[in-house]
Amino acid sequence: MANVKVEVLPGPFLQLGEAPHWDSESQSLYYVCILSSTLHRYDWKENKTYSAKIEGSTYASFVIPVKGRKGEFVVGSGTRLLVVSWDGLTETATIVKVLTDLGEEEADHRFNDGKVDGQGRLYAGTMLAEDSRNHFEMDDGKLYRYDAGRGQMVPLKCKVHISNGLTWSARTGKFYYIDSFAFDIKEYTVDAEGNLGKKMVSFEALPALIVRICSTGGETVLIKLKDDEAATEFIADGMTSDAEGNLYVAVFAGSKIIKINPESAKIVQEIALPVAQVTSVAFGGPNLDVLFATTAAKELSVPQEPPAGAVFKITGLETRGVPMNELQLP
């Protein structure tokens, strides 16, 4: 394998950078700072980042282009799912429409990670908001699919701690999902309507760095990788996959990205980053062979100094991703 190169992109250092989305049409990487409710666009050709604050919004958890509507994006904001207008240049983005609101049932929650499948359907999950009770321990979040025809969020999975990374295999069509404080990655089949089938496989990344592949019935441990010297918890955060179906997982508080082969359930590569809080990953670039990683600078136990909160460009991986999808609205 060629030498892997890690570089910092020009742009602001964010408290909670998240949700990278590569837009092939504009050759741009869109991403958010959740806590400041800002959108960001890194222009590949200009090697420059533009930023905008969403007027009237408290959070911005993800940003995904709306298919066929130039300059419009779906954004998860608190309990609301918004259509936001931004030209990618100015410092202000405006709310065009509220698609739906999760309402009082999830009043103390917020959207976290969200992504669109190959049929243009949005999947997005929730977690307790930062100003709520211990949002690291409670498991009353959910994973939803947005039903664009009815304008409603359809719950797919309950009792979620922190709904996080999600991706679909380009090879098998299977759906992979992370609940960060379940310490695992689950694999599902998906039916024609976008509902989750049976849980097929889970990879557990426990504090001692144990990775397992389990059968549906008895959670049988087939593979175990353990590092007795590990002193920190491995918290899986955002996730993407390459054209061969391998998973790339951001490890929050772990200073790395891990590459997992789902067929063998093995970690086949670790990519070190010079920051602790790696939040999410996405393939992009003109040839989809660049891995972008967002990071955070949250002061959880010790101060996080720059380049914490930067976005990183990783090259030399000798693999490619697949195009990211846009939301299909009626």
Numbered residues of the known binding site: 18, 110, 112, 130, 164, 237
Distance CA 202, CA 204 (A): 6
Cβ-based neighbour number of residue 268 at 10 Å: 11
Question: Is the separation of the CB atoms in 37 and 17 below 8 Å?
Answer: no
Query: Do strands 48-54 and 92-101 pair parallel, antiparallel, or not at all (unpaired)?
Result: parallel
Where is the binding site for substrate, in residues? Answer: 110, 112, 130
- DSSP β-ladder status, 109-116 and 290-295: unpaired
Cβ distance 320 to 15 under 8 Å?
no
Cα–Cα distance measured from residue 230 to residue 225, given in angstroms and rounded to the nearest whole number: 12
How many Å is the maximal CA-CA distance in the chain? 54
Catalytic residue among 117, 237, 242, 289: 237
Cα gap 16→128, rounded to integer Å: 15
Known active-site residue 237: yes
How far apart are alpha carbons 59 and 115 in whole angstroms?
A: 17
Catalytic residue list: 237
